[in-house]
Structure formats: C-alpha cells, structure tokens
Chain A
Amino acid sequence: MSATAKTRIVGASVPRKEGIDKLVGRAVYVDDIEREGMWYGTTVRSTIPRGRIRSITCDPRIDWSEFTVVTAANVPGKNHIQLIVADQPCLADGAVNHCDEPIVLLAHADKHKLREAAAAVRIEYEPLPAVLSIEESERQDPIIWGDDNVFKSFLLEKGNVDGVWAQAAHIVEGEYRTGAQEHLYIENNGMIAEWSANDGLTVWGSLQCPYYVHKTLKAVFDLPDEKVRVIQTETGGAFGGKEDYPSTLASHAGLLAMKSGHTIKMVYDRMEDLAATTKRHPSRIRHRTALDKDGKLLAMEIDLATDGGAYSTLSSTVLSRATLHSCGPYVCPNIRVRSRAWATNMVPYGAFRGFGAPQAIFATERHMDEIAAQIGIDPVELRRRNFLHQGDQNATEQLMREPVMLDELLDRALAQSDYYARRERFTRENANSPVKRGLGLATFYHGSGFTGSGELYLNSLAGIDVTADNKVRVMVSNTEFGQGTNTILTQIAAEALGLAFSDISMAPPDTAVIPNSGPTVASRTSMVVGRLIQRASLQLLETLRNDGGLGANASRDEFFAACDRYRTAHGEVKSLCRYEAPPGIFWDDKTYHGEAYGAYAWAVYVAQVAVDTRDYSAEVEEFWTVQEVGRVLHPVMAKGQIEGGVAQGIGYALYERVVWQNGRMANNQMTNYIMPTAADVPPIHVIFEEIPFKFGGYGAKGIGELPHDGPAPAILNAIRDATGVSFNSIPLLPEDIFAVLAAREIQEEPAIK
C-alpha cells in the first residue's frame, strides 16, 4: 500500500476514540475505583540520601496486629525492579541510596489510621557521605555504584578529531547545563492490586507499559506469565513518568495484597509523587567545535554527562539517545562524543519526553548561536551551511536515504515568524524600551522508535481480531494516556480493512488479552506499531480472501460474513504480525555506528521572547513550529501533541525548577513547582510538512517527543538576541537573569548619588 495513496480515515480528525467518556466524567482512572473490602497502602521512605539502616522500630502505641507490614524480607522472588540492569530494589534492604527510597509498606482499611501508623515507624540510620551532583560523582570518592560510579558510558567517534584543531580557522567552546524536570501529569501515580493463590496477582493502574510491569511482577513474586495480570486504567498523563515507576508501585501494592489478603489501593498524593518518583536527567554538556573560515563544521568534540540518580533504571538508554542527538542535524566529518551517566544519591531519574534529546539539543543549539556570535556569522546562515541533506552521512555514518527538508523548513519558519523584519524592529525598539525583545531559533531532528537494534530486540507482536458480534479489536500493549494511541491505531485498522471508524475498538489494555507490542515510548507507536496494525489488517484481508471466501472490493457486510465463516472453520479470527526491520539496516552496538534510527522527524522552531528589565522576567510572546513528521495521521491530535510539547519545553526553559535540599525535593507542591498556566502560554503556530515514511504506519514517523526538543534552546537564543547576554543553563529564572543583568547595569550606569 503506497504511503502517499489517498485515504478516508487516516489523515482525518476523527473524534477521539475514548473522548466522550472523558468529557462526561465517565472515564475511570485508578482512584475512581472502589472495591468492597478494599484496604489502602502507604510507604515509609528514607529521610536521608545515603546510609545503612540500623533499625526499624514500630512504636508500640499502635496496635500493629491491625496492620499489614511489609519489608524487603517479605519479597517472595527477586527484590529488584526488572529494567535494564536490575539494581534497583523494590524495597530497601539494609541500606538506602536516596531520599524517599521505599523501606516499609503498611496497609489498613482506614486511611487515617494508616497515616498515624506510618508516622509511628521509626527508622534509625547510620548516615554515609552522599554524592549529590555530577561533579561530586566524578570525584569517585566515595564510590557509590559499581567500580567507578558510572552507570554507562559511550564513545562515539568519526573521522579524526584530534587532527583538526591545528588547522581550524575558529575554535569555539561552551558548557551547557540542564536541570531536573518533573512530569507533573495531573493524575498522580496509583495502583490497585489483588492476590489469590489460584489466580496469582492482578494489578490495575496508571501506567504506560503493561508488559514492563508484568516483567517486574513475575520476578518480584516468582510467578509464571499466566499468574500475573496487568491492566491499565485510564491514565491521566504520563510523558515517560509512568514508564518504569509503575513497576515499583505495582510491586508494592502486590506485596501488601499478598500479605494482607485484601484488595489494596495505593494512590500517591501530589507531595509524595513529586518527591519520590522519577524526573528528567540533569545534564552537563561541554562542546568544543572547530570550523573553517566559512563557518563549516570541521570537528565536534563533546563531553556529555548526565546525573542518573541512585539506580541505573533507564540511564543507559537516555544517555544513548542524548549521545546520538548531540551533534545536531549537521554535516561534520570529525566527531568525538564521550558520554557518561553518573550515579548519585539523588532520587533515580527516568524517562521524560525526549529522553536525553532535549538535553543534548539544548546544548548543541545554544552552542550554534555562540559559534555564530563568536565568528560573526548570522546564526541562520551558520545552520544553513551545515545542514544535512539527503545523501549525507550523520554522526554515526548513517546515510540519509530519505529526503531532508531542513532548508525548506527553515525558510518556512523564517517567513512565518517574519524573522528578519521583526529582529530589525526589535533592535530599534529595544534601545528605548525597558522590555527587550528578541527572536531565537533551533533546528533539530528526533529519531523515531528504539535506537539501533532496539526494535529488533523488542520483537513486537501486534494485530487485530474480530469478535463474533462484528467488532474489530486492535490488539496492542501500547496504551492511551492522552497522546492518541486509541484513535490513530483504530484509524489505521479501519482504513486498511475498508471499514468504518466506529467498527474498530481497542482490545482492553490487559496482559491477559493483548500481545506484547512493546512499550509506549520512544515515539514508536504510530510508526512501528501503526505499521504492524496496517500489515496485520492487510494480512487478515488476504487470509479471508484465500480461506474465507472474501471477494475483491468486498462490502462491510461481506467482510463480516467472511469472518463468520472463518471463525466457524478455525475457532477465532485473529491476525498478528511481528516487527520486521526495514531492509538494509545495520547497527554496531560497540562502535555506535550505523542506522541509529529508522526514521527522523525534522524541525525548525522560532521563539519570540520579551525580557523585562524591571523584573528580569523572560516571557515567550509567540512561538512558531515547522516540522516534517512523515504522514500526519490525525491533524488535530498531531497539532495537540506539538502544542503540548512546546508548552512543556517552555516550562523546561523558564519556569520549572526543582529545588533540592540535601537530595530531597523541597518544592514538592504544585504551588511551588511552577508550570505555565493558560495565562502564560504564548500563541503556538504549528505547520506540518509530510514526507511519508515507507515503513511507518500509513507513512507516519514519530511525533510525541520532537516538540520538547526545540523550545528551550530557541528561547535562550532569543534571550541572547534580546539582551546580548548568553545564558547557558536551564531553567533560567528571573533571579538568574537578574544576577547577570543587574551586575551589568551597575557597570554601565554612572553612580547616581
């Protein structure tokens, strides 16, 4: 099926599949569920960042016989969350390595008694010196993880970096930092668990990846596949924050369910969710760049460090993506990227939309503007001279086989934002205005799907079935949490089968029903899983033609009749497909060379920022996005993804600071962790270009994470344009701008006495 063929349903903004339930208050989130005889669970957590647990004492003023108490000793199987390296305990056992690490679980029918009991658990520690930053970890004293505090390291090399410096016309250096960022999904983490000796463990909850949770529960409870059942409830936002954490929470609820014999509900409140769950990895990225006299890149040497927190969790894959996105959408013959994810005694960091790319792209795109300023070239022109085009090779020597539209995207973004005319006007107006305005841009790409051989490793299985009452169900483990999974996958099935959108529904996100089509991450759903659904649908049609009497150009009634005949003969109507890598893919995990990603989305973002010299605030006044994302499956939803990602990117740049006090989040309330409100977001313009990707669902590439990559560097570049001051660290708050601008004001003004 041609990726460019005209379509009825794909490409149309059909109503969100589960939309009505959400609009009338019928959608069921985990905390909306109450069951007869349900008990509640709570967690007693570490109050120090590192130490040995000397004792756990339950104060005798509480009647503990009423409570279920669980510690690491009660874990029937492996006391470790099964992610990449299974180093994170489900419950701390003898030692703690971060603040708010879970130690004791309690359950009771009465929430108030539960709170009192939690306060009555006294834990004595022998504190140990804690490592609270990348720099402290780099000292490698103390060693807190492995031999050297390094969770993972990469060395990506191309050409011969060392031979270039001597001949370079320009060498520019810079250091860039990004802070932790909290997902702030409006629905906190929550799980319900039930245990029986017969059926095993069943959990319901807010999550992204049912099979990730399944894998951990099997290990923690030492149960076979069929004795663990994971069911996703309607999930109120995730953004990566519910990729791995739910495995921990499900284990906790499961342990309490098993020991108490009751259904257990554990739903965090905002203070606990903010303090104890994952956030975006902070980073420190150093660039050293050589250019020729025309501003063409000769060499990029990059030192990239992330703070992974106390356990490795997803730090290696975040580092991987950061590494592979660190050289920008540019041609550069000589590259060295040395990257390391460092262990610290901070709350473990995790997945968050972009997954290392926002950090890397912030540094690269800020650095491009620094280069432009230092060598005296227009930052637009500098980028143009270095853009990748079809036929070029990127940092990993991947050939850009598909067309690359960066020049056109840039032209469009400049035109839409009236870039040069606005900048000229601002230059004039800024001279006599206390509000300084500027424009800044970022040009970037985002790789869709798992890196390198990741999709082969996932070996996703997905497809459709047709029930006896003529319902076609999409069978995937990919979940809906607002980004539109339910809608786009049912659109694809409806299109491929020639049916109505209303004929298709999603099979329940229940591991007892759905195959493992991989996690809902990495912008892979529309491209990889969408493609599987498309293939499975076509495969079913072919099967029915061969073995169900279905004719060519069959009607809807004939389709269902053929299904009936097939079901009579074979018992069920189901069509599943396994992932197949596009042809000619090669990837070397050791040298990190080859096809890093199957497809890339490309973008140019422009920010207009106003800096008010009276309160030192920076506000985004307008924002333009132009991106090439393959086929747009659902225009309204796609727009919503870009706008939502940009809003989060604005927060990342200017508002969202995590305040740490000795390894603990001190501002763990919504009143003090600041995200932009409806009054703060600027008008966001969204333009799509489409170059359908042959191996994506109906030509789609990934779109979910791309929009979080561009805003922060575009905004800080705009601030440089507005003020002439380079800020290289985010979040950039007014107090930070004040520190620099006020010092300059004192220098510039004659003393008035």
Chain B
Amino acid sequence: MRGNCEVHELIAPGRLRGVLELLAAEPGVWTPIAGGTEIMVAHAAGRLNLPKLVSLWGIGELRFINVNADSVAIGAGATFIDVRRHAELAESLPLLAKASSWIGSIANQSRATLGGNLVNGSPAADSSPALLVYDAEIELISVRGSRRIPYCEFHTGYKSNVLAKDELVYALHMQRRFARHKQYLRKVGTRRAMAISKVALAGTALVDSGVVSEIRVAAASLAAYPARLYKTEAAVLGKPITPETIAAAREALMGEAAPIDDIRSTAEYRKRVGANLVEEFLLELGREAAQP
C-alpha cells in the first residue's frame, strides 16, 4: 500500500444537493468518488494526487434505473450489478447488460458505477460502445440545473470530457426502440474475465427491403476515447450486405481507427481485429436479414 490515507480528505454529504453545492462553491477542488474501483487502485499505487474527495456512494438520488414504455433512464450511481439484475433493462437493452457482465469480476461490478466508468474516460471503457450504439443521451447536473447532450459528444479527447467543474454526470437516457434491431457486442481482452479491453466493438442495425436502413458502430480502444465509427457506418448505410460492402466496411474501419501500441496490445492488432469484428457483425446481420 503506497498511498497515505491520512493526506486525503474524504467527505460524504450524503445527498445530491450537498455534493452539487460543494462542487459549485469550490470548483475543481473536490473530486467525486463513487465505487472507487479506479481511484482506490491509484491510491494503493501511491499515485493518487487528489487531496480532497467527495463520496457519491450511497446517494440514492443517483442510483436508479427507471424503465417506462419507451425509454430508460439509468442513474450515474447505478452499479453494473444493478444493470445486470434489472430484467426489463436487460431485455430491452441487452448490450448494456452484456457489457456490464464483462467488467472486471462480480466484486468489481458490485461497486463500479456507470457514471464512474464514463467519467474515468478510459478509451477501453466497457460500457461506452453499447451506450454509443444505443444513441444514449447523457444528462449532466449542477446547481445551475441539468442539461442533456448526446453521449457521443461527451468525450473530447484522451481522458477529457465536457463536464464543467461544478457538474456531475446524473443519468444516461436511451430509447427502447431496438427490439427489432440486430445487436452485436464483442470484447477482446487478455482473458475471459478481469480483462481490460484490447478492443471492443458494438453495433446496432436494421435491414429493410434488403438494405441497411440504420446502423451504428462504436468501439473501445480504437481511438483516444470510445467513439462511433462514422465512416464505417457510411460504408454500409443504404446498401445490401454483400462481400463488397463488408470489404468496404473493413477498409473504412482500418482507415478511421487510430489505436495505439500499449502494454497490453498493438495498434496493428487492434485495427485488424476491429475490422474482423465489424465483418462478424455484418455477416450475422446479413444472415439474420436473409431469414424469412
């Protein structure tokens, strides 16, 4: 244990209002800590340079899953176990439940929160690809009120996002409109459990009258932050699934992906596997569309 617990202040206002007022009163001073599955690792490694922390754990106003007829709202404080256990959510947005089950292990899932996963902003964030292909909106909150933006606009660079100094992530919103969509998610990690993603690909798509009428493709670890692959989508949108469109999608992905070499994997591998995964997605899409 290389961190010194005595040099960190940690307070728990216990209510959302208390936290927001603190962030407004002293912007940039207090760092929110939810489940702690990232911050506490840095703490143990002696790399936690955050003297003041405010706990979001146990704030009921952040930990909710609301499902109504056509939309879902997931509070930023919802843990991944919460997501997995919510039957209706798992049924209407299965990629999220799948992604949740691939985060760390059960012990991590019971503490890691959706908000924490997004704000931590790792390019390998497990929940992000699914959120992106579900057209999620992210709701940010402060004493000044709340605002919703498309989640795909949340990340702006490596570990940077649009959160103002006094803002928290409040919730993720998605439409329940994917029942007919082909849905795809695959994570490639170092092993089957407790693996940081080397590359992950998510996809949702509709085929109507033999052509792709709607498509979203998003990836982790193919850029500085989890992102939609717009050129890859464009290569397929409005076209039938053929070897040519698949090849075009592969080429588009290899062109727009910008992964790096790091301790876990290589850029070349990530690009190539990304292309293989989009091919697998499209092949499945094509096969299922061809069925009567």
Q: Which residues from chain A sit less than 8 Å from chain B, CB to CB?
A: 111-112, 115, 269, 271, 434, 613-617, 655, 659, 666-667, 669, 671-672, 674, 676-680, 734-735, 738, 742, 752-753
Point out which of A666, A676, A738 has the most chain B C-beta atoms below 10 A from its C-beta. A738
How far apart are the CA atoms of A282 and B272 in the complex, in Å?
Answer: 30
Return chain B residues, CB-CB under 8 Å to A111.
1
Q: Please name the 5 residue pairs, one residue from A and one from B, whose CB atoms are nearest each other, closest first.
A: A752-B247, A679-B192, A679-B193, A614-B276, A112-B4
In the bound complex, do residue B266 and residue A269 qualify as a contact, i.e. CB atoms below 8 Å apart? Answer: no
In the bound complex, do residue A735 and residue B191 qualify as a contact, i.e. CB atoms below 8 Å apart? Answer: no
Return chain B residues, CB-CB under 8 Å to A753.
247
Q: List 21 A-B contacts (CB under 8 A).
A: A112-B4, A112-B6, A115-B46, A269-B44, A271-B45, A615-B188, A615-B273, A616-B269, A655-B190, A671-B41, A671-B194, A672-B263, A677-B105, A677-B191, A677-B194, A678-B193, A680-B191, A735-B266, A738-B268, A738-B272, A752-B243
Asked whether A680 and B188 contact (CB < 8 A) given A615-B276, A672-B263, A742-B272, the answer is: no
Point out which of B190, B196, B198, B268 has the most chain A C-beta atoms below 10 A from its C-beta. B190
Return chain A residues, CB-CB under 8 Å to B194.
671, 677
The reply on B277 being an interface residue by CB < 8 A is yes
Smallest beta-carbon distance B143→chain A, Å = 36
The reply on B85 being an interface residue by CB < 8 A is no
Partner of A674, one of B2, B191, B247: B191
Smallest beta-carbon distance A735→chain B, Å = 5
The reply on B244 being an interface residue by CB < 8 A is yes
Residue of B nearest to A113 (CB): B4
Residue of B nearest to A681 (CB): B192
How far apart are the CA atoms of A616 and B273 in the complex, in Å?
Answer: 8
How far apart are the CA atoms of A671 and B193 in the complex, in Å?
Answer: 11
Further pairs besides A271-B45, A738-B273, A753-B247: 6, Cβ < 8 Å = A115-B2, A615-B276, A672-B264, A677-B193, A677-B194, A752-B247
How far apart are the CA atoms of A333 and B105 in the complex, in Å?
Answer: 54
* Segment 186-203 of B: residues with Cβ below 8 Å from A: 188, 190-196, 198
How far apart are the CA atoms of A364 and B279 in the complex, in Å?
Answer: 39
Return chain A residues, CB-CB under 8 Å to B280.
434, 614
Asked whether A617 and B188 contact (CB < 8 A) given A667-B263, A742-B272, A752-B243, the answer is: yes
Return chain A residues, CB-CB under 8 Å to B272.
738, 742
Partner of B273, one of A614, A667, A678: A614
Return chain B residues, CB-CB under 8 Å to A669.
45
The reply on B175 being an interface residue by CB < 8 A is no
Return chain B residues, CB-CB under 8 Å to A734.
188, 198, 269
Smallest beta-carbon distance B41→chain A, Å = 8
Q: Which residues from chain B sit less than 8 Å from chain A, CB to CB?
A: 1-2, 4, 6, 41, 44-46, 105, 188, 190-196, 198, 243-244, 247, 263-266, 268-269, 272-273, 276-277, 279-280
Return chain B residues, CB-CB under 8 Å to A112.
4, 6
Return chain B residues, CB-CB under 8 Å to A666.
263
Return chain A residues, CB-CB under 8 Å to B244.
752
In the bound complex, do residue B193 and residue A735 qualify as a contact, i.e. CB atoms below 8 Å apart? Answer: no
How far apart are the CA atoms of A659 and B277 in the complex, in Å?
Answer: 27
How far apart are the CA atoms of A617 and B269 in the complex, in Å?
Answer: 11
Residue of A nearest to B246 (CB): A752
Smallest beta-carbon distance B48→chain A, Å = 13
Return chain A residues, CB-CB under 8 Å to B192.
677, 679-680
Asked whether A614 and B191 contact (CB < 8 A) given A271-B45, A666-B263, the answer is: no
Smallest beta-carbon distance A43→chain B, Å = 13
In the bound complex, do residue A735 and residue B265 qualify as a contact, i.e. CB atoms below 8 Å apart? Answer: yes
Smallest beta-carbon distance B8→chain A, Å = 12
In the bound complex, do residue B188 and residue A674 qualify as a contact, i.e. CB atoms below 8 Å apart? Answer: no
Smallest beta-carbon distance A143→chain B, Å = 33
Return chain B residues, CB-CB under 8 Å to A659.
263
Return chain B residues, CB-CB under 8 Å to A269.
1-2, 44
Residue of B nearest to A737 (CB): B269
Residue of B nearest to A670 (CB): B194
Residue of A nearest to B4 (CB): A112
Residue of A nearest to B192 (CB): A679
How far apart are the CA atoms of A11 and B268 in the complex, in Å?
Answer: 54
How far apart are the CA atoms of A616 and B268 in the complex, in Å?
Answer: 13
Smallest beta-carbon distance B274→chain A, Å = 10
How far apart are the CA atoms of A525 and B188 in the complex, in Å?
Answer: 42
Return chain A residues, CB-CB under 8 Å to B243.
752
Asked whether A680 and B269 contact (CB < 8 A) given A269-B2, A753-B247, the answer is: no
Return chain B residues, CB-CB under 8 Å to A271.
2, 45
In the bound complex, do residue B273 and residue A676 qualify as a contact, i.e. CB atoms below 8 Å apart? Answer: no
Partner of B193, one of A613, A680, A738, A752: A680
In the bound complex, do residue B191 and residue A679 qualify as a contact, i.e. CB atoms below 8 Å apart? Answer: yes
Return chain B residues, CB-CB under 8 Å to A679.
191-193
Smallest beta-carbon distance B210→chain A, Å = 21
In the bound complex, do residue B269 and residue A738 qualify as a contact, i.e. CB atoms below 8 Å apart? Answer: yes
Partner of A735, one of B195, B247, B269, B279: B269
Residue of B nearest to A654 (CB): B191
Return chain A residues, CB-CB under 8 Å to B2.
115, 269, 271
Point out which of A617, A667, A669, A678 has the most chain B C-beta atoms below 10 A from its C-beta. A617
Point out which of B41, B188, B273 has the most chain A C-beta atoms below 10 A from its C-beta. B273
In the bound complex, do residue B269 and residue A676 qualify as a contact, i.e. CB atoms below 8 Å apart? Answer: no
Residue of A nearest to B243 (CB): A752
Smallest beta-carbon distance A114→chain B, Å = 11
Smallest beta-carbon distance A213→chain B, Å = 26
In the bound complex, do residue A674 and residue B190 qualify as a contact, i.e. CB atoms below 8 Å apart? Answer: yes
Residue of B nearest to A678 (CB): B193
Return chain A residues, CB-CB under 8 Å to B4.
112, 115
Return chain B residues, CB-CB under 8 Å to A674.
190-191, 195
How far apart are the CA atoms of A735 and B270 in the complex, in Å?
Answer: 9
Return chain A residues, CB-CB under 8 Å to B105.
677
Return chain A residues, CB-CB under 8 Å to B266.
735
How far apart are the CA atoms of A269 and B2 in the complex, in Å?
Answer: 9
Return chain A residues, CB-CB under 8 Å to B191.
655, 674, 676-677, 679-680
How far apart are the CA atoms of A269 and B46 in the complex, in Å?
Answer: 12
How far apart are the CA atoms of A305 and B188 in the complex, in Å?
Answer: 35
How far apart are the CA atoms of A614 and B274 in the complex, in Å?
Answer: 9
Residue of A nearest to B275 (CB): A614
Return chain B residues, CB-CB under 8 Å to A735.
265-266, 269
Smallest beta-carbon distance B242→chain A, Å = 11
Smallest beta-carbon distance A302→chain B, Å = 33
Return chain B residues, CB-CB under 8 Å to A655.
190-191
How far apart are the CA atoms of A64 and B141 in the complex, in Å?
Answer: 50
Smallest beta-carbon distance A121→chain B, Å = 16
Smallest beta-carbon distance B222→chain A, Å = 14
Return chain B residues, CB-CB under 8 Å to A671.
41, 194, 196
How far apart are the CA atoms of A679 and B187 in the complex, in Å?
Answer: 15
Return chain A residues, CB-CB under 8 Å to B265.
735
Return chain A residues, CB-CB under 8 Å to B279.
614
Smallest beta-carbon distance B282→chain A, Å = 12
Smallest beta-carbon distance B49→chain A, Å = 14
How far apart are the CA atoms of A653 and B194 in the complex, in Å?
Answer: 19
Smallest beta-carbon distance A179→chain B, Å = 15
How far apart are the CA atoms of A115 and B6 in the complex, in Å?
Answer: 13
Smallest beta-carbon distance A396→chain B, Å = 40
Return chain B residues, CB-CB under 8 Å to A678.
193
Residue of A nearest to B265 (CB): A735
How far apart are the CA atoms of A669 and B195 in the complex, in Å?
Answer: 13
Residue of A nearest to B5 (CB): A112
Return chain A residues, CB-CB under 8 Å to B6.
112
Smallest beta-carbon distance B102→chain A, Å = 10
How far apart are the CA atoms of A688 and B222 in the complex, in Å?
Answer: 48
Return chain A residues, CB-CB under 8 Å to B188.
615, 617, 734
Residue of A nearest to B199 (CB): A615
Smallest beta-carbon distance A666→chain B, Å = 6
Return chain B residues, CB-CB under 8 Å to A667.
263
How far apart are the CA atoms of A136 and B183 in the complex, in Å?
Answer: 52
Smallest beta-carbon distance A753→chain B, Å = 7
How far apart are the CA atoms of A112 and B41 in the complex, in Å?
Answer: 17
How far apart are the CA atoms of A515 and B66 in the complex, in Å?
Answer: 69
Return chain B residues, CB-CB under 8 Å to A617.
188
